[in-house]
Structure formats: C-alpha cells, structure tokens
C-alpha cells in the first residue's frame, strides 16, 4: 500500500513503500506547538500559517557587559538566526522521515509467457506393444511401429520446444533428457524397441519419473504425454499415487490409448483393430484428474490428430505476467538531510563565534 503518482510519459510511478512514516513529522510538529504554547513560549497561531515570537529571555547574552551592547538590531539578527535554525531542524527531521517512507520509482514490466514448452513423452515399450492391430497402407503393423512414426513427425514440428522421451516397461529410463536437439530425439526414438525395458508395464513408476523430469525445468509451460495401452501393469508405485504427484506439480497429463478398445475388434473393422483392448478407463481417470485430456488412437489419423490437439491445447496456457521494477530513492532525501544538518552546524558555530 502506498501513495503514488503516475508519470505517464515514462510509464513510471512514484511510490512510498512505507508511506505511514510521512505522518510522523506532522504529529511531532503539532505536539511541539502545543507544548510551547502551554509553556508560554510566545508561539501564536495565525491562519493560514503561524509565526513565532522569540521570547526575550533567549536574547540574554552570556556576559553582563556584552548585554549592555545588545541593541534592537542585534536582537533582530539573533531572532532571524533562531528562526532559520528552527526551520532547518524541522527540514532535517522531515527529510529523515521521508527517507524512512522509502520513496521509489516503480515500473510495470509485462513478461510475455514462454514461447517454448517442455514436452515429456512417456512411451510404453512393454510386450503388449507388439500386437499388430493397426492397418497402414493395407498392411498390419504393430502398435510400436505406428507410434514411433507419428511421434517422429510430431517432434519435427516442435520448433524451439524442449523434448524429453521416457521409456518404460518393468523398468523406467529417461532415454532423452529435456533438449532442443530434435535430431537427437528422433535418432533415439528410432532405437526404441519393444521389450527393451522388460515385458510388463510399470505405469506408476513411469509417470512418477516423467513428473521428476518435468519439474527439473523452471519453465512454467510443461506437459506430459502418456502413450500406452495401460495393460500388464506392475511396478512399485501405484498409478493413482503417481497422478497425484503430477497434479501437485501442476502438470497436465494427456493420455493416448494405443490399441483396441474391446476384444470384439477384428481385422474387418474400419479401424483395423483386433484383440487385447487398452484400459481406456484408467487413462481417462489420469487425464481428468490432472487437468489433461484423453484420446484414443483408433488409427493413424486419430493418433496424429490427438498429438496435434495436444500441441494446440498447450500453446495458450500461460498468461502474461507483470513484473515490477523498483528503483529506490531514499538516499536522496537522506543526503539532503545530511547536507542541511551540516549547514545548521556551520550556522551554530558562526553564531557562537560572533557572540
């Protein structure tokens, strides 16, 4: 809270961080006037201002012989000196309290949100990904082949974004830490093989590792993309615990179900899906709980669309932030107070020398 004046030309604001101190000199001056009036100090109040009448007892010289030399002219000079001393003392006091009020220039600086993002892809490499339940150009291909092809093309489109790839099965590995080297990411993705990390799927461990990977970055625009069929689950960490970690870290988890939805799917189905359904309910739960979105990759087109939607959804998440640039000014009234106090001391010494 503080008093402020806007200087539109420079977009700066003059601001007192502790403006309450500005009342103290006025209160002290009021108490001084009341005290002097009660003590008979000859102070009279005249609107719109006030004036001081110097009491004659203040004009008595130190020595009686010099007292006889005091005339009206000398008395007037001494009265003028006391008036100046009074003004300087209160100016020094006022400037000290102005410094304590912490005057400063404040400027609002608009920080645009990060134009780049941190995207962590969590790829399932368990044995279930070997199932050939997709049709590509009339030929059946396994889930992993389709996933790698679409994901590689998607990485090409992420200009300036940081990309990380976490692979998992029984074990979890950060194959590619967050990097802008997309050539490296594509090369490492091409080396991903089914069963390279085991046969089962430690989904909870993988999600927890991905959260750890994402929070290492200071970028506020982060997202996790989980690509799995969510079958053959194992691992030490429950998926419910892992998605709670993601939620606490403020990470949206977008889940993409790879594989058939039902056991009734056959080769004649338009999507080309056959047996071994993906656990779509579990993936929906993870997405909804963390503020992400669930997608089902029924074919190549739907998988590409899912990843494209994720990119667009995370483009405009952040809002511009306002940063305040503060330039303290307390040193200037403090310096002025020191200078005025020095002048006051010189006047006192000069007056004593004259007497």
Q: Are 148 and 190 in contact (CB under 8 A)?
A: yes
Q: Pairing relation of β-strands 294-297 and 49-52?
A: unpaired
% the chain with pLDDT above 70: 72
Categorize the per-residue pLDDT at 172 as very low, low, confident or very high, splitting at 50, 70 and 90.
Answer: very high
Say if residue 89's pLDDT is above 70.
yes
Give the model's pLDDT for residue 122. Answer: 93
Candidate from 201-210, 277-286, 341-350 with smallest mean pLDDT: 341-350
Alpha carbons 102 and 180: distance in angstroms, whole number: 45
What's the chain's average pLDDT?
75
* H helix or E strand, kind and range, residue 342: helix 331-354
pTM given for the model = 0.56
Pairing of the two strands 222-228 and 118-124? parallel
CA dist., res. 285 & res. 110, Å (int): 37
What is the tens place of the pLDDT at every residue in 258-314?
876 665 544 454 444 445 677 888 999 999 999 988 988 877 777 778 777 777 766
Q: What is the CA radius of gyration of the chain?
A: 39
Residue 231 exposure: Cα atoms within 13 Å on the Cβ side: 18
Instruction: Please report the pLDDT score of residue 111 as a whole number.
Output: 59
Does 1.10.3720.10 match the CATH number of domain 118-313?
A: no
What's the whole-number mean pLDDT along residues 49-65? 43
pLDDT tens per residue across span 90-128: 888 888 888 888 888 887 766 555 567 888 999 999 888
Mean pLDDT check: name the lowest of 31-40, 191-200, 202-211. 31-40
User: 113 and 320 in contact (C-beta within 8 Å)?
Assistant: yes
Q: Who has greater pLDDT, 157 or 172? A: 172
Buried b (16+ CB within 10 A) or exposed e, 139-154: eebbbbbbbbbbbeeb
How much is the average pLDDT of 155-184? Answer: 88
- Name every residue whose Cβ is closer than 8 Å to that of residue 63 and which is 6 or more positions away in sequence: none
pLDDT for 271 equals 47
Tokens matching residue 138:
């009339």
Instruction: Give me the pLDDT at residue 121, please.
Output: 93
d(CA 227, CA 219): 23
The torsion defined by the Cα of 228, 255, 166 and 200, in degrees rounded to 10, comes to -30
pLDDT at residue 66 tops 50:
no
Q: What are the structure tokens assigned to 94, written together? A: 């006022």
Per the structure block, which two tokens stand in for 340?
């005025």
SS3 per residue for 285-335: HHHHHHCCCEEEECCHHHHHHHHHHHHHHCCCCCCCEEEEEEEECCHHHHH
Of 177, 179, 121, nearest to 310 by C-alpha is 121
pLDDT at 142 over 90: no
* pLDDT, average across residues 167-194: 91
Residue 9: pLDDT band (50, 70, 90) is very low
Rounded distance, CA 176 to CA 191, Å?
12
Provide CB contacts within 8 A for 109, sequence distance 6+.
322, 323, 324, 325
pLDDT at position 73: 47
Tell me the pLDDT band of 257, cut-offs 50, 70 and 90.
confident
Domain ranges of the chain: 4-108+324-354, 118-313
Q: Element (H or E) spanning 210, and its range?
A: helix 203-215
* Residue range 161-188: mean pLDDT, rounded: 91
- Which pLDDT score is estimated for 40? 52
Q: What is residue 276's predicted lDDT score, i.e. its pLDDT?
A: 63
């Amino acid at each position: 809270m503080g008093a402020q004046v806007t200087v539109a030309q420079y977009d700066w604001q003059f601001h007192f961080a502790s403006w309450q101190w500005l009342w103290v000199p006025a209160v002290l001056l009021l108490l001084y006037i009341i005290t002097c009036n009660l003590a008979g100090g000859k102070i009279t109040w005249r609107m719109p201002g006030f004036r001081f009448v110097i009491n004659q007892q203040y004009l008595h010289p130190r020595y009686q012989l010099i007292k006889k030399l005091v005339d009206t002219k000398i008395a007037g000079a001494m009265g003028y000196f006391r008036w100046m001393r009074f003004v300087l003392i209160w100016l020094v006091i006022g400037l000290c309290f102005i410094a304590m009020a912490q005057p400063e220039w404040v400027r609002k600086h608009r920080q645009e949100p990060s134009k780049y993002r941190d995207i962590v892809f969590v790829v399932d490499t368990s044995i279930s990904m070997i199932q050939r339940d997709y049709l590509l150009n009339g030929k059946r291909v396994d889930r992993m082949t389709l996933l790698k092809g679409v994901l590689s093309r998607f990485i090409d489109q992420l200009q300036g974004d940081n990309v990380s790839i976490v692979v998992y099965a029984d074990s979890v590995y950060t194959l590619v830490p967050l990097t802008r080297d997309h050539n490296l990411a594509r090369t490492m993705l091409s080396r991903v093989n089914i069963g390279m990390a085991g046969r089962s799927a430690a989904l909870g461990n993988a999600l927890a590792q991905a959260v750890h990977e994402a929070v290492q970055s200071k970028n506020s625009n982060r997202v996790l993309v989980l690509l799995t069929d969510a079958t053959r689950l194992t691992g030490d960490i429950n998926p419910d615990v892992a998605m709670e970690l993601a939620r606490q870290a403020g990470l949206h988890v977008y889940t993409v179900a790879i594989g058939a939805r039902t056991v009734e799917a056959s080769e004649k189905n338009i999507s080309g899906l056959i047996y071994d359904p993906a656990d779509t309910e579990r993936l929906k739960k993870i997405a909804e709980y963390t503020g992400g979105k669930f997608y089902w990759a029924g074919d190549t087109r739907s998988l590409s669309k899912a990843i494209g939607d994720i990119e667009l959804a995370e483009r405009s998440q952040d809002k511009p932030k306002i940063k305040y640039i503060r330039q303290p000014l307390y040193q200037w009234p403090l310096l002025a107070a020191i200078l005025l106090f020095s002048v006051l001391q010189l006047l006192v010494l000069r007056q004593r020398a004259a007497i």
